[in-house]
Amino acid sequence: MTTRRTLADREEVLAGVMLAPALAYVILLVGVPFVMAIVLSFSDATAGSLSFGWAGFRNYAAILADPIFLRALRNTGVVTVGSQVLVVILATAAAQVLRATFRGKRFARFVLLLPWAVPVSLAAIAWTWIFDSTFSVITWTLKAAGLLHGWLYWLGEPGLALTAIIIVQAWRIFPFATVIVLAGLSSIPQEIVEAAIVDGAGFWRRLFRVELPLLLPVVTVAVLFGVVYTATDLGVVYILTGGGPANTTHVLPTLAFQRGILGADLGQGAAIAVFLLPFLIVVAVAMLRLARRAEVGGGAQ
């Protein structure tokens, strides 16, 4: 076959042309703002004017001396770790349930996915109502069951409020993790599971010795996305507590929003948001390593 190489046949040209808009969008509206976020954190920029002056490490010095910020940093860690531990437990268990066949499975799957489908802000407002200080149905149920004699001010006490935040984050992310773990379960070669049964391994032994190790990469993916979704989430805390009572339940995103957008101190807002980067870098590195292992592993199969 004779090769006619007109412009319409030059793959590298076509590749470039088709990719260019996406690359431009990502570079101009993600890459540049990302750099700007870091640059702004070293500036005294405010929302009111477009002036811009170097502030060196002044914003960082200010927030690191600020107990509210340190508290927010700690809360972000506590909420992220706490909710992801719950997510892993709930998701592995729920995936075992959904793998079995039983009557009403489609309905169960539909309901299980609901928390992930509903917009964060609407879920958060529903939970705000559930945790209402006067009308909380949880408080009523606990009292009616005789488990509670005093009163629970769910969103009014720092400890309880953080617990509520962790519950809501775990609730909204575990369905996503469940589906990922299910996808992982279905990709475990059946021979391995059968071999384990033949060797006399019971359900628990099979789960902990055979399936969970094989599921590790997939559970890791679920947790990594979970970490990103939780650590960087603004909606749940903003709507549930607004950072209160007395600024005790702020997380980094809500504090960055309060200082940077509502308080118009862009420099300090950016500096607070920059502390999200360690979370993201850990996640990105872990994902890259997983992806590389998948490449190598895929080649070996």
Q: Which is nearer to another protein, 71 or 259 (CB)?
A: 259
Find the part of the chain contacting another protein (CB under 8 A) among 67-75, 191-199, 204-212, 233-241: 233-241
Q: Which parts of 123-279 are beta strand (E)? A: none
Q: Which of 104, 101, 235 is nearest to 173 (CA)?
A: 235
**Residue 252 binding another protein, by CB under 8 A:** yes
What are all long-range contacts of 59-68, with beta carbons under 8 Å and residues at least 24 apart? 59/267, 59/268, 59/270, 59/271, 60/271, 62/268, 62/271, 63/268, 63/271, 63/272, 68/247, 68/250, 68/255
Supply the minimum distance, in Å, between the C-beta of residue 248 and another protein.
20
**Residue 30 binding another protein, by CB under 8 A:** yes
Find the part of the chain contacting another protein (CB under 8 A) among 66-74, 158-166, 190-198, 232-240: 232-240
Cα 182 to Cα 215: distance, rounded to the nearest angstrom: 10
**Residue 75 binding another protein, by CB under 8 A:** no
Among 11, 51, 198, 200, binds another protein (CB under 8 A): 11
**Residue 192 binding another protein, by CB under 8 A:** no
Among 51, 53, 102, 147, binds another protein (CB under 8 A): 102
Cα 48 to Cα 239: distance, rounded to the nearest angstrom: 26
Q: Count CA within 13 A, CB hemisphere, residue 14.
A: 7
Cα 182 to Cα 179: distance, rounded to the nearest angstrom: 5
Q: Which of 167, 170, 165 is nearest to 251 (CA)?
A: 165
Among 77, 78, 143, 206, binds another protein (CB under 8 A): 143
Among 125, 196, 207, 286, binds another protein (CB under 8 A): 125
Q: Which is nearer to another protein, 162 or 181 (CB)?
A: 181
Question: Which tokens hold the place of 171?
Answer: 């609730």
10 Å Cβ neighbour count for 156? 13
Contact 192, 199 (CB under 8 A): no
Among 164, 171, 243, 250, binds another protein (CB under 8 A): 171
**Residue 64 binding another protein, by CB under 8 A:** no
| Site size with another protein, rule: CB under 8 A | 119
**Residue 291 binding another protein, by CB under 8 A:** yes
Find the part of the chain contacting another protein (CB under 8 A) among 54-62, 65-73, 191-199, 263-271: 263-271
Supply the minimum distance, in Å, between the C-beta of residue 283 and another protein.
7
